[in-house]
Amino acid sequence: MNKLKNIWAFILLFSAVIFTSCTVEPYEGPMPSSGDSTNNGGNGNSSTTDYWPSAINNQWVFSLNGVNQAPLKMVSVDVIGGNSYYTFNSQSNGGASQVTRLRKSNGDYYLKSEDVIVAAQGGMPGSTSTGTERILLKDYLAVGGTWTADYVQTTTYTDPIYPVVTTDFNIVSTILEKGSTLNVNGQTFNDVIKVKVVQNITFSGQSSVSTSYYWYAKNVGPIKIETTSGTTTYIQDLVSYILN
């Protein structure tokens, strides 16, 4: 069970952009064709802005509860299923590793997370948890606009004595603010979108809920993520960035 929690933690913070492992639940979801639905709050699907600039060697450095993390860097452009993705440098933590990719289409920002692979350690077998693709942001929605995702994730262990684990996810994202201003690490960012994400997880008949808030600044990208799971809150702040 502890091993499974570590896998979930890794997935959550990949989706929360910082890509590091903590004892919180995961956060991911499918493409719209796999179950996303949208209430656009009165706006059409069109966008002339950019809330996550994409170019090779673009880089963001975040802190997690005050501790700087490894840089998040776009290292290549890859075509998968006819879509072009900007691929981030592979991230690893606590024996787990994962590759993530970003693509944008008409104001929808997709994060594609490949399978999470965890090496065997501490008497526990290795495992693989299925990757997914989800929408992080719909920058054209009005305040109050929402989108949802429902999916099932599976985890398979290298030792067949361990059964395949399935986990059900329900995720609801809501635009809370647009055009706001936020100060992060002494720097003021304008034209910020704030998104609330509520994630419900069901595993072995038990349910848990985590709530995250994401802030995206125009022409910069994600600048802050705050996630609360149970009684613990994780704050991830942008420390520096390089855009090309």
* Domain CATH for 154: 2.40.360
Residue among 211, 179, 217 nearest 196 (CA) = 211
The pLDDT, as a whole number, for residue 91 is: 75
Say how far apart CA 204 and CA 187 lie, in whole Å: 44
Side chain identity, residue 125: P
The pLDDT, as a whole number, for residue 39 is: 56
Say how far apart CA 8 and CA 21 lie, in whole Å: 9
pLDDT (tens digit per residue) in 121-175? 888 899 998 988 889 999 999 999 999 988 888 999 999 999 998 988 899 999 9
**For residue 18, what are the domain limits?**
2-242
Checking if the pLDDT of 89 tops 50, the result is yes
Going by pLDDT thresholds of 50, 70 and 90, the confidence category of residue 37 is low
The pLDDT, as a whole number, for residue 80 is: 95
Checking if the pLDDT of 201 tops 80, the result is yes
Residue among 26, 51, 25, 40 nearest 215 (CA) = 51
Q: How large is the average pLDDT for residues 33-55?
A: 61
Burial 81-118 (b: 16+ CB within 10 A, else e): eeeebbbbeebbbbbbbbbbbbbbeebbbbbbbbebbb
pTM: 0.81
Half-sphere exposure of 187 (CA within 13 A, CB side): 12
Most confident of 22-26, 158-162, 213-217: 213-217
Q: How large is the average pLDDT for residues 10-25?
A: 37
Going by pLDDT thresholds of 50, 70 and 90, the confidence category of residue 38 is low
Scanning the chain, the segments in alpha helix (DSSP H) are 2-15
For all residues of the chain together, what is the average pLDDT?
82
Report in angstroms the alpha-carbon separations of 91 from 30, 129, 208, 219. 21, 15, 26, 24
The pLDDT, as a whole number, for residue 238 is: 96
Looking at per-residue pLDDT, the higher value among 118 and 49 belongs to 118
What separation, in Å, do the N-terminal and C-terminal C-alpha atoms of the chain show?
43
Domain count for the chain: 1
Nearest-5° Cα angle at 121, 120 to 124: 75
Residue among 149, 150, 137 nearest 177 (CA) = 137
